[in-house]
Chain A
Amino acid sequence: MRTSLAKIALVAAAVAAIASSANAMLFSSNPGTGGTLANLQALDSAADHVMARAGGADLAQSRVIGTTVEGDSVSVAPTKDGVCVLFSTPDDFCTPDAQVAAGHSVQISNDCSHSAGPMRLAAVLPPGAASTILTFSDGSTSRMRTAHEVAWFSGHVPTASEPYATSIFVADAAGQRLTTIGIPIGRNGYCPGE
């Protein structure tokens, strides 16, 4: 009996090792993915704030900075080189300071299960940012909630006849323009598989 259990354990270990090797081979044989598996496995958790944890957020230092229109809390947590934005829904994201400086700090989360599904757009802003205005493709605008150099907006996925967000106008406390951040996707980018 003991021998059988030992054999089963050995086979299980061997199978796990084979699976692990198969994955390693998959990734080592493809270009552009050195270290990928290790990085992605950092996301291997069903725990809350999985993206923030993977991004190195110091959750003990997190603080609530506001709420969304839907009533979800919005928090920030520092990382060693930037900040993570945390929502009460599992749509966190982290942005290094260098990305913010380059204007690459926009994160979008949307529901494609039906037409005009809910969409949330958020961005980490440069130092000194105090207010933001979201501009749409038809020139219309909408004020974004802004606090602690983070902006967020709740809307819906644009339909074929509706304008879509194109940029975020960022101003300082005096209302002077600091920068304009482009939205990297157009109307068809929200639900790309359709």
Chain B
Amino acid sequence: MRGGRVALRTAARVRLLQVLVAATAGTASFVGVALAYSEAYGGYPIGGNNSYIETGGAHTFVHNGGQIFSSPGTIDYTSYIACQLFQKSGTFNQVDHGYGICGASATGSLYTWGRVYNQSGVTEAVAGYANT
């Protein structure tokens, strides 16, 4: 009986931990109650003809950076990518392109989505990182 209660309590704790992980995945910093938000996304191969990875939602992002990789840990500076910060319902839409790495910026006063496009023509791993 007591063993059953302990198991239930343990299960509840595990569930709480799962909820916390789900709630905080992608949120890396806590400063008082004014929460800074950052999100790492993508990190897997996508097609090279403007396929993209995207943030999990909109936020008051001020920067969205991206990188493309030829092999684990090796940025491919011969491949072209584009970083985008944009509103799905609104007018802001900034795109910055570069070899290997890119970064788009916004004022942080708008709720924007972040994307990173593979414009290399070949399938490669692409990762993005957006922060408020």
Chain A residues within CB distance 8 Å of chain B: 12, 14-16, 18-20, 22-23, 26-27, 30-37, 39-41, 43-46, 50-51, 54-55, 90-91, 93, 95-96, 98-99, 102, 104-114, 117, 184-185, 188-193
Contact = CB atoms under 8 A, between A and B. Distances in A.
Nearest to B28: A19
A12 to B, nearest CB: 5
Interface majority SS (helix, strand, loop, mixed), chain A:
mixed
A35 B131 CA distance: 18
Contact of B86 (A23, A112, A185): A112
A22 B44 contact: no
Interface residues on B, range: 35 or more
A16 B26 contact: no
Among all A-B residue pairs, the 10 with the closest Cβ atoms = A32-B125, A34-B73, A40-B129, A32-B69, A90-B105, A19-B24, A43-B65, A192-B50, A30-B43, A22-B25
Nearest to B108: A46
Contacts, number: 180
A147 B124 CA distance: 35
Given A22-B24, A36-B40, A43-B65, 9 more contacts: A19-B28, A22-B25, A26-B25, A37-B40, A40-B127, A46-B63, A95-B99, A109-B95, A189-B119
A32 B129 CA distance: 15
Nearest to A32: B125
A112 B52 contact: no
- Identify which of A18, A23, A40, A113 gathers the most chain B CB atoms within 10 Å of its CB: A40
A191 B92 CA distance: 13
Given A44-B129, A50-B105, A106-B99, A15 B93 contact: no
- Identify which of A31, A33, A99, A112 gathers the most chain B CB atoms within 10 Å of its CB: A33
B66 to A, nearest CB: 8
B89 interface: no
B21 A22 contact: yes
Contacts of A99: 77, 99-100
A31 B72 contact: yes
A39 B40 CA distance: 11
B45 A32 contact: yes
B52 A193 contact: yes
Contact of B127 (A19, A36, A51, A91): A36
B69 A18 contact: no
Contact of B65 (A34, A40, A107): A40
Contact of B28 (A20, A54, A189): A20
- Identify which of A15, A46, A98, A106 gathers the most chain B CB atoms within 10 Å of its CB: A46
